[in-house]
Structure 1
Amino acid sequence: MFESLLVLAIASLILLLTPRLDTAMDEFAFTLFLDDFLTELHTAQSYAVITGNGVNMDVARPIGATHYAVFKDGSVSDRYANRKLLLPEGARVIQGYTGFIKGGSGYLQPNTIIMETARSRYTITIQLGSGRYEINKAAR
């Protein structure tokens, strides 16, 4: 009888922890996405400054499809590797952004991008000037 209760207790603990592990993995996947996104933003700005060619940036939230961020060369040149970053499953864009990183200066129009996961809401505020940003994370 005692062994049966022990097995039930262990099984209950495993079942209770499983949903938390899923959301923790989703949160970790989003953190990796955010690192890639910010690295790509820095790369696109550096490319725009060095080459003088602008880069289009689009963070979209299409209906019924995977949300994504795209960086594309704004000129006819194809020297910049166009990148499309897909948000991890379970994450979504609440407020997107369509803008242009200006060639020569790396200037990016100030705006706010809002993305969320099951646990958190991330607000990326692009600041006036060199296009730097501030990231705020809040619990949902």
Structure 2
Amino acid sequence: MSHGKERLTQKQRINFVNENIAEMGMIIGYLIAEGAFPQSDLDISTTDISQAIIIWAKEFEDKYEGPDFDYRKGYPEIGNPQTYIEAIDNFTDLKLKEAGWITEEYILQKGRFWNDTIPPVIEV
């Protein structure tokens, strides 16, 4: 079964990656401004951030099938997003968390998708 990547030209793929880069950059810029990503405290260069964004944008596009994102499949690792933008936002949050680039306060905020998941019930 085709998921759409086969129908995309190289230019279209590049455009989707560029859109991901833009969305991720806006998220990170907002988090820096709000203090949730304390760039100066962590001593992370703008170059390091830019390189991470490019890598993550390509990874997102490859892993989540780009424009043919199928929400019905369920993607618990990024909070079962309902829209393509929500998927990018959650993926970016997850990557920032994995990199250790966001504050504990941000990680613990109600509304972060990883805090909204219900842990499995373990019967004893």
TM-score, normalised with respect to structure 2: 0.31
Greater relative CO (CA pairs within 8 A, separation 6+): 2
Larger Rg: 1
> Per residue, is there more strand in 1 or in 2?
1
> Per residue, is there more helix in 1 or in 2?
2
TM-score, normalised with respect to structure 1: 0.29
